[in-house]
Structure 1
Amino acid sequence: MRYFRALGATAFATATGLALVGTAFTGTGTAEAASASSTSLYAPSALVLTLGQGSRPSTATVVRAVTLSCSPTPAGTHPAPEEACAELNAAGGDFGQVMAISGDRPCTREWNPVTVTGDGVWQGRRVHWSATYGNDCELRSRTAEGAVFAF
């Protein structure tokens, strides 16, 4: 009786393992999708965006941070991943272009620097970007209509 129980458990574990392996390799159920998804270890567009207090990215105290993945579908902890991915796609992943959006919002000349960063992989290439603004108002004025750093 013990032999049959052990054999039954082994057969169940083997069948379950094969079923899991099958789903891991097929993803959407097609061989083409399986080979396309296994060509890279990383998502083609996965970023970590931060907002920190301070004038240098290496020493700024991170106040807020979000993740943003734009492939295969917009996702992450970013509050508006669809809009942020659309902006980055329109700018070809160039954060400088995204931050070039400027508003007419008046700001004080207070020096309380904030630094924003974008690190990760964009369409298969490694990216590291940062910019420092005099204060939070100046940052918000530059991105008044943008969603990438609106978190």
Structure 2
Amino acid sequence: MRKTARWTAGGATLAVALLGSTAGVAYSAPASLYAPSALVLTTAHGESTTTSPERAVVLTCGPGATGTHPDSEGACAALAQVKGEFGSLAEISRGQPRFCTREYNPVTVTAQGVWQGTRVSYEHTFANDCVKNAEGAAVFEF
């Protein structure tokens, strides 16, 4: 009986020692050291987003540029240059020669998602595809 009591006491002590050292400790390692930047970009002909999108791409920036965007590196670089402010993308293309017609064939673009950890919801209507490509930098050229 003494041996059984000693083994039970020893086993209980061992269990407390092992479980006690890990109890209450929960480590949650971040998936990345970079803030997430993942966007869904769409284009549609028309003056509003009530028109169904004709094209949609995914753009993921940080730590690397990936996604279904045809020029993900250029698009991520353009967004980084304007610090995620889509309305400032036209500043990038200023001074670069690009001639567009004055036809009015509206194109509406949207951007939904997260840029460096901040929720993004952007919508803008351009006069035509040429103006969209000129003022949207590489971001909306798809």
Aligned to 1:128: 121
Q: Deviations over 1:72-112 (max 9, x none)?
A: 32110011111111111111111111133345433333221
- Contact 1:54–1:61 (CA under 8 A) maintained in structure 2: no
Normalising by structure 2, report the TM-score.
0.69
- Secondary structure of 1:55 counterpart: coil
Is the alpha carbon distance of 1:46 and 1:108 closer, same or farther for their aligned partners in structure 2, counting shifts above 3 Å?
same
> Which of 83, 89, 102 is equivalent to 1:98?
89
Q: Deviations over 1:2-40 (max 9, x none)?
A: xxxxxxxxxxxxxxxxxxxxxxxxxxxxxx9x712189x
1:98-139 Cα shifts (integer Å, max 9, x gaps) = 133345433333221101111100111100011101211222
- What residue in structure 2 maps to residue 117 of structure 1? 110
Q: 1:38 to 1:108 in 2, by over 3 A?
A: closer
Report if aligned partners of 2:43, 2:109 keep a CA contact under 8 Å in 1.
yes
Of residues 79, 96, 120, the one that matches 2:70 is 79
Q: Partner amino acid for 1:71?
A: G
Give the match for residue 107 of structure 1. Answer: 100
Aligned with 1:119: secondary structure?
strand
Q: Tell me the C-alpha RMSD between the 2 structures.
A: 2.3
Tell me the distance in 2 between the aligned counterparts of 1:147 and 1:38: 26
Stretches of structure 1 that go unaligned for 5 or more consecutive residues are 1-31
Name stretches of at least 5 consecutive residues in structure 2 with no aligned partner: 1-26
Contact persistence 1:104–1:141 (CA under 8 A): no
Q: Percent identity?
A: 49
Counterpart amino acid of residue 76 in structure 1 = G
Confirm or deny that 1:150 pairs with 2:138. Answer: no
1: distance between equivalents of 2:133 and 2:41?
A: 15
C-alpha contact 1:53 1:115 (8 A) present in aligned 2:
yes
Provide the rounded CA distance (Å) in 1 between the counterparts of 2:122 and 2:87.
8
Cα pair distance change 1:147/1:52, threshold 3 Å = same
Q: Deviations over 1:33-85 (max 9, x none)?
A: x712189xxx710000111111012x123111110000232110011111111
